Amino acid sequence: MTKLLINIDVDDLARAVDFYTRAFELTVGRRFGDGGVELLGGTSPIYLLLKPAGTAPSAAAGSVARARDYGRHWTPVHLDVAVDDLEAAVKRAEAAGATLEQPIVASGWGRMALLADPFGHGFCVLQFEGEGYDAIATGRG
């Protein structure tokens, strides 16, 4: 069985713990010295990893990866947080320090809003309705 772990680089661990526990109602699991914290309460654990801005994300020889930057940035991999009450979840995330980038919109599978955390990482908060993704699925396999 494959187990998915989510790692999120941040430049301020205490601020990240405060944000993610308040925004998503997660709890602190284990602490890994001064460099990491495990958050529990979702379907997969989230690991907040302290990584200073400007550091290289990889030590691999010839790596072309850009240095870490915690200004708002785009990545093709992001979190989707599925909730039962979208309005309440968006308000909770904003109160914790998230920036609302796209208000709630409806689609064939449900509704969602786009936000960014205080570290520049984008994420979606979504609420499935009716058949959820099955309403737009085109096939199986």
State the pLDDT at residue 69.
86
Please tell me the pTM assigned to this model: 0.89
Q: Quick check: is 55 in a domain? A: yes
Q: How many CB atoms lie within 10 A of CB 98?
A: 23
- pLDDT, position 63: 65
Please indicate, yes or no, if residue 61 is contained in any of the structural domains.
yes
Question: Is 21 a domain residue?
Answer: yes
Q: Assess if residue 45 is contained within a domain.
A: yes
Q: Number of structural domains, the chain?
A: 1
Instruction: Classify residue 1: in a domain, yes or no.
Output: no
3 state SS of 106: strand
Contact 126, 111 (CB under 8 A): yes
pLDDT tens for 71-129 read: 898 888 899 999 999 999 999 999 999 999 999 999 999 999 999 999 999 999 999 99
Report pLDDT for 66: 80
Q: Round to whole Å and give the CA distance between 68 and 75.
A: 12
The token pair at 37 is 């914290």
Enclosing H/E stretch for 15: helix 13-24
Average pLDDT of the chain is 92
Whether residue 61 is predicted with pLDDT greater than 90 in this model: the reply is no
Structural domain includes residue 59: yes
83 token code pair: 């909730």
Q: Is residue 140 part of a domain?
A: no
Please tell me the distance from the alpha carbon of residue 12 to that of residue 115, in angstroms, as a whole number.
19
The pLDDT value given to residue 60: 64
pLDDT digits (tens, 9 = 90+) for 9-54: 999 999 999 999 999 999 999 999 999 999 999 999 999 999 999 8
